[in-house]
Amino acid sequence: MIRYSSLTKKFIMAFAGLFLVVFLLIHLGINLLILPLTAHHEAQFESASHFMTTNAVVRVIEIILFAGFIIHIFYGIVLQIQNWMARPRRYRIEGWSHTSFFSKFMIHTGVVILVFLVIHFINFYFVKYGITRPHPGRATVTSNEDFYHMAVNLFTDKGYSILYIILIIFLGFHLNHAFQSAFQSLGWNHSKYTPAIKWIGNIYSIMVTLGFVSIPLYFIITG
């Protein structure tokens, strides 16, 4: 069995995390096509979804993506457990000033995101392979790959939309710290670069959160 040092685990986790950061931007771009921003948004969404589910290169990237999720989650848990074991007296008040607010709760927001992924897979990915059934609603889902109408049925369910917004906000908190932490793990912790990386991370986490939240908000407002 191969054993990795904590530093190596952080490197691997950082690379996997940055890969997921790029994926989120692509995923957000496609999801925003659900909104009626253009006259042909439904056809554009279906076209993008079809490309993402049938293109051979994308299918390979999908496998890499799942591997990235697993690696990021696995090493995140391992590193957190190692930190807890290294600091058995972590609950003393003095320790709270040693780390940032977001870093204290990375494992907690990570667990919430894992729950979000499970819900997401049940409503989309598993439906594609016939493992689960589409969420019922006003739209008629014509096939296991009719993701547009699946999404419409989910977001017109106010309870789901509210839950989605809450989970995405947790994702935003996780991204806020994770972006900077990834570059720090890769050795980019420098007075010259860190402020810029932190600024970009803040903008990224806010824009991604607002982008994803805008979709359920639209359906809640329009009824």
Q: Copy the structure tokens of residue 138.
A: 């006003």
- Which domains can be identified in the chain, with CATH numbers? 6-88+98-222 (1.20.1300)
**C-alpha 90 chain-centroid distance:** 28
CA-based nearest residue to 211, from 27, 23, 44? 27
What digits encode the pLDDT tens for the residues 80-111? 777 767 765 554 544 444 455 556 667 777 78
- What sign does the dihedral 154-159-161-163 (CA atoms) show? negative
Q: Is the pLDDT of residue 217 over 50?
A: yes
Q: Is the pLDDT of residue 153 over 70?
A: yes
Distance CA 157, CA 220 (A): 8
Q: Which pTM value belongs to this model?
A: 0.80
What digits encode the pLDDT tens for the residues 44-91? 999 998 888 888 877 777 777 777 667 767 767 776 777 767 765 554
Q: Copy the structure tokens of residue 170.
A: 């947790």
Residue type for position 176: N
- Longest Cα–Cα distance in the chain: 59
